[in-house]
Amino acid sequence: MTSSSTNGGRGTGNGERSLRTLMLVVAVLLGCKATTARPYFPPATGAPQTEIELDVKEATEALADVLKGDSLPVVQVVLRDGFVETAWFETENKRATHGRRLGPDVVQVRAWVDPSRPGHSRIVIETVYRPLADPSLSGRELDRQVAPDHPIGKRMTEIITQLAKLYSSEPATP
């Protein structure tokens, strides 16, 4: 008797089972996009955050529109990943700078938008500066969250509060 006659002709030999498993793994891998435009690091400690009643794409778009409307030099908006980033800019005139990025007068804003409850997103906006230059450390290791009374830091807290009022019934968490 052959294997197909003992199991009703279904052909479930080890070779066929392995082929099906391989095909399933390939299909899953082709369906996944394992890349993201988000940085590998989390937001800085002390960054203001809130939860709003929009999905990630809508919340990211709303936040990016507010930042652009505030004349910040937004250089990256990734709706799929829920990430917004500005260039390093001078706090006085909000112009992008390519000069030395030292001190609290030159900052960068990054925002992470993550799914929370169904139909809701958690937004965290960091405003960082670099207090010193140290070639032995990565740029991220030098980044520090601005003080709560910093003009751009205050504005980011206002933006978080504004978004919470517009799209949520819960207050912001500074």
pLDDT at residue number 8:
52
Buried b (16+ CB within 10 A) or exposed e, 92-119: eeeeeeeeebeebebbbbbbbbbeeeee
How confident is the prediction along the chain (174 residues), in pLDDT tens digits per residue? 554 445 555 555 677 777 777 766 665 555 555 677 888 899 999 999 999 999 999 999 999 999 999 999 999 999 999 999 999 999 999 999 988 889 999 999 999 999 999 999 999 999 999 999 999 999 999 999 999 999 999 999 999 999 999 997 665 555
Residue 8 CB coordination number (10 Å) = 8
Any idea where the domains of the chain sit in the sequence? 1-34, 49-167
What CATH architecture does domain 49-167 belong to? 2-Layer Sandwich (3.30)
